[in-house]
Structure formats: C-alpha cells, structure tokens
Amino acid sequence: MELSRELRFAEGELLLVRKPAGWTSFDVVHRISRMFGIKKVGHAGTLDPLATGLLIVCTGKKTKILGTFVGLEKEYDAEMTLGGRTESFDAATPVIEAKSTEGIDESRVLAVLREFTGTRLQVPPMWSAVSVKGKRLYKYAREGVEVQRPPREIVVQSIVPLLVRVPVVRFSVTCSKGTYIRSLVNEMGERLGCGAYLSALERTRIGPYRLADSVTIEELAAYRTMLESNPS
C-alpha cells in the first residue's frame, strides 16, 4: 500500500502491515500506537511470533470494522521439517523426538499433502492463545498441564507443493479462519511416520488483501519521520 500524505491515523486507517519474525501481533499494534501517538489500534487475526507476513491493522474509528476481516479466507506459505517433533508443533520449542526420514520420498510426501484438503476437525494446539476456563492454552503448556480442547471444524481449500527436498518440504495452503498450520504439519508428520514441525510460516493473503501490498514497520517509521520533518 502507498503511504500518502492524506493518511489520518487518529481518525481511522486500515493498514496492511508485514509482520517481522520474532514480533507478536500485539508488538506491531503497540509500535504503531506509540509511533503515531494514537490509543485506538487493533489487528484482525493473530500471527505466531515466529511467523511473518500480512497483518491487517486498523486505527481510530476503523477499529470498529476489525470483526469483518476475521472470517476471511487465509493463504500461507509454509515450510515443514521432517524427522522431528516439538511440543509447540513449530520451531518455538526444542525437538523432543527425532526419527529417521529414510524411505520417505517425494511421492509419499505429495500423497500425504493431498490427504489434508477438505473439511476436517482440528484440535487447537496446547501452545496457542485459545482460552479455556479463562486461561490461555500456552500458559497451561508452560506449566506442563494439558487440558481438553474441543475440536473445531476447518476447511483446507488447497495445498500446493512448492518444494520437496527431504527433510524440508515447502507448500502453499489456502484455508478457513481458525486453521493452525502447525497442527496440520504435526498431523502430516504422524501420517508419514517420521514426525514433522513447522519451521517457517508466512501469511500471504487475507481475503482480497495481499502481502505484496503491505508496508513494513521500517516504512511506517520513515513515514512518521517524514511527517515530523515536513509538517505542512
């Protein structure tokens, strides 16, 4: 998106922001709030700290429409590493079980990827922000406590393989709201019999909004500096 001179953050703007790795979605919201001196800032759809990609951020009066983005279809580019399993299903926690990938070739991987399209029930991972009895699941996980999580219906419209070079597999996935890609990856690893964890994830689309049209935190900071240097 273009950062024009007419942007009015306090009155209300819709921003397409490229979230960097290592940042929480709240980190992005907090930085924009401080950067432009506005209190009302929110995002539509959390990304895990290790993930990158598109985050829809609204400011001012536009925060009222955040709910309209929640149900939109999502698209991700994902990378999974075969031969290991982690508690969080991604690279945020250490590998707790390693297995051989011997005998696993491209044809087997592609066959398993095809199995994961369609409507299915998915149990949210323990390492997630879902609340159970008023407490985030990841807080239970840090205490070593596992709680019952009701499964949710999700839809995986398509999975397109991008690279199969065992132990690394990359693919693009289009899915419904509430889909945990790392849970899909964990299940794929179980199906292959060697374990797998999500080693990289980038959200590339939310409904009609695309990562290619987003701005970085650095670009927003440069825009803020420009406004300060040229207030007229």
Q: Which one of 3.40.50.300, 3.30.2350.10, 3.40.50.970, 2.60.40.10 gives the CATH number of domain 74-206? A: 3.30.2350.10
Average pLDDT, the chain: 91
* pLDDT, tens digit, 9 for 90 and up, residues 209-229: 999 999 999 999 998 888 777
* Residues with a known catalytic role: 48
For residue 132, the cross-strand partners are: 135
For the chain, give every residue range classified as CATH 3.30.2350.10.
Answer: 14-71+208-229, 74-206
* pLDDT, tens digit, 9 for 90 and up, residues 24-63: 999 999 999 999 888 899 999 889 999 999 999 999 999 9
Its CATH class, for the domain covering 14-71+208-229, is alpha beta
pLDDT category at 231 given cuts 50, 70, 90 is: low
Sign of CA dihedral 88, 92, 98, 104: positive
* pLDDT, tens digit, 9 for 90 and up, residues 65-100: 999 998 999 999 999 999 999 999 999 999 999 999
Percentage of the chain modeled with pLDDT above 70: 95
Q: If you count them, how many residues does the chain have? A: 232
What's this model's pTM, rounded to 2 decimal places? 0.91
pLDDT at position 9: 65
Percentage of the chain modeled with pLDDT above 90: 74
Please tell me the distance from the alpha carbon of residue 66 to that of residue 88, in angstroms, as a whole number.
Answer: 28
pLDDT at position 223: 85
Please tell me the distance from the alpha carbon of residue 19 to that of residue 53, in angstroms, as a whole number.
Answer: 5
State the residue for tokens 């007419």.
6
